[in-house]
Each structure stands twice: as structure tokens, then as C-alpha cells.
């Protein structure tokens, strides 16, 4: 089992004991609407299937999802991970609303990107953010992400496509940002 640690966070694969917290945090409309593949309403059965799927995908090297826990008290706050698609990893992350605006998303994503470039030997990773979620765009910018186009992308929660900015994160640019 691969776990990562940062100053304030412990990142580990999601477990079935996280189901209740996942359903509570991601079931909030303000969280769900910012994600492509999350239905709304979101139920515990959805969270159970999510954990099952992530366990299977990790075993096949297709997905490396990490539960984000606060080190000080072990509170589950969200998830951050990498999904392999067409030979390239996509970075994704979400936090429960009480944890927004405190730097947790940047801290978690930085550790996951380090894992991608160091352990998975990825040369680049891509990510996307919906036009009405500029906070996510700022997280990716802080990590060294560069604009890589835009396109409409489906939002399951919203039930329609939403304008999505694509961002490229390269090993070289991330290394420069990390050293700064």
C-alpha cells in the first residue's frame, strides 16, 4: 500500500471506512458540480462503488487515487489522484467544502505529482478545471501548470457539458516550480 506524507497531510489509498465521509463531502452540490464524473445526489452506494473501483484500478496500474487525511487528527478531507487515459495521466482532486481555501489541495496535488514524476516516471500529466471554478485553476498554476486548450466537458452532476480549461504539467516545469 503506497502512502504519501506532506507537512500537514497523509495521503493513502481510499478504504471502505471512508465511504461515509466521501458521500458526505462529495454529496455537497458545491463540490459535485466541479467534477466531471460525479452524480448529484451522491449516495453512500456511489461512494462504496467508487472505493471498489479505485482498488481494482490501482491493482491494474490504471489509477492512483489517494484519500487526503489531515495528519493532526486523521480527518478525511477529500481525494487526489492520477487516472491513466490514453497513455497519459490525468490529475484530479476534490476537497470537502470546510477544507477549501487553506492550501490543502495544492499541498496534496504537489505530493501526488511528485509521485507521478518520480515513481511512475511520467513525463507529463494533464488536468482540467471548469470555467466557473477558478480556484482550481490557481492550484494548477501554483504547481507549474500551463494552459493546454479548452473544450466542453461533461459534468454528470450538472447534466450537461461545461467549458473546461485543460492544463499541462510537465516534469521539467514542475521541477522548476518545486525548486522555487
Tens place of pLDDT for every residue, the chain, 180 residues? Answer: 589 999 999 999 999 999 999 999 999 999 999 999 999 999 999 999 999 999 999 999 899 999 999 999 999 999 999 999 888 999 999 999 999 999 999 999 999 999 999 999 999 999 999 999 999 999 999 999 999 999 999 999 999 999 999 999 998 888 776 645
pTM for the whole structure: 0.94
Looking at the structure of the chain, the number of domains it has is 1
**Residue 79, beta-bridge partner list:** 67, 94
What is the domain extent for residue 21?
A: 4-179
**What CATH number should be reported for the domain holding residue 87?**
3.40.630.30
Amino acid at each position: 500500500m503506497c502512502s504519501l506524507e506532506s507537512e500537514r497531510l497523509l495521503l493513502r489509498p481510499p478504504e471502505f471506512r471512508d465511504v461515509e465521509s466521501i458521500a458526505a463531502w462529495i454529496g455537497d452540490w458545491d463540490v459535485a458540480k466541479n467534477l466531471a464524473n460525479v452524480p448529484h445526489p451522491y449516495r453512500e452506494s456511489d461512494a462504496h462503488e467508487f472505493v471498489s473501483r479505485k482498488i481494482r484500478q490501482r491493482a491494474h496500474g490504471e489509477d492512483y487515487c489517494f484519500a487526503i487525511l489531515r495528519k493532526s487528527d486523521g480527518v478525511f478531507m477529500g481525494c487526489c489522484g492520477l487516472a491513466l487515459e490514453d497513455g497519459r495521466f490525468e490529475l484530479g482532486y476534490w476537497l470537502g467544502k470546510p477544507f477549501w481555501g487553506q492550501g490543502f489541495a495544492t499541498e496534496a496535488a504537489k505530493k501526488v505529482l511528485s509521485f507521478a514524476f518520480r515513481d511512475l516516471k511520467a513525463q507529463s500529466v494533464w488536468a482540467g478545471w471548469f470555467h466557473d471554478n477558478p480556484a482550481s485553476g490557481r492550484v494548477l498554476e501554483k504547481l507549474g501548470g500551463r494552459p493546454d486548450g479548452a473544450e466542453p466537458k461533461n459534468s454528470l452532476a450538472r447534466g450537461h457539458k461545461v467549458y473546461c480549461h485543460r492544463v499541462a504539467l510537465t516534469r521539467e516545469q514542475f521541477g522548476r516550480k518545486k525548486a522555487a
